[in-house]
Every structure is written in structure tokens, then in C-alpha cells.
Amino acid sequence: MERPTRFEHSRWVGDKRTWVVHDLDHADDHADAIAELMDARTYLSFGPDTLPEARNRGYRLCTQCRAAASREDADA
């Protein structure tokens, strides 16, 4: 999907309300949720921009992003 401008250079985007981290490379099927997050402005990015870093900070991977990533792995 087209990344929100704020996250042009980030892949992992956390939602401070829910402690969920989205994988923007696998968020196509719930882009509306990402747009809502951008509107709510409760997002944050991570440094370094990695899933382990997000997990270290207490975030868990979005189930929809995880499902999309595993579908892609199955196709590969």
C-alpha cells in the first residue's frame, strides 16, 4: 500500500492506544485501520525500524498484518 507520508521511511508503526504494531508492508487489507490511526495521531515509529525493537518496547504484532505476511510466505 502507499505509505502515509509520515511513515514514508518506516515499516513498523505502533498504535499507542492498543499497543499493537502494524507492518505497513502487509497492511493492504486493513488500510482503513491505518488511515484511522493516522487521523487519531496516536501512532509512533521505532528506532531501529524493526519488529524486535517494537516488541522490546511492549508492542505486539497486529494479527491482520501477521496473517497477511504468512499468506505471502505461503505463496512464495
Positions that interact with Zn ion (CB under 5 A): 22, 27, 62, 64-65
Residue nearest to Zn ion (CB): 62
Residue closer to Zn ion, measured from CB, 54 or 65: 65
- What's the Cα-to-Cα distance from 30 to each of 23, 47, 71, rounded to whole Å? 11, 24, 15
Tell me the closest approach of the beta carbon of residue 64 to Zn ion, in angstroms: 5
Tell me the closest approach of the beta carbon of residue 13 to Zn ion, in angstroms: 9
Residue closer to Zn ion, measured from CB, 1 or 52: 1
Tell me the closest approach of the beta carbon of residue 5 to Zn ion, in angstroms: 18
Residue closer to Zn ion, measured from CB, 27 or 54: 27
Task: Name the burial class of residue 32, with classes exposed (0-12), middle (13-18) and buried (19+) by CB atoms within 10 angstroms of its CB.
Answer: exposed
d(CA 33, CA 72): 20
C-alpha closest to that of 23 among 9, 34, 13, 37: 13
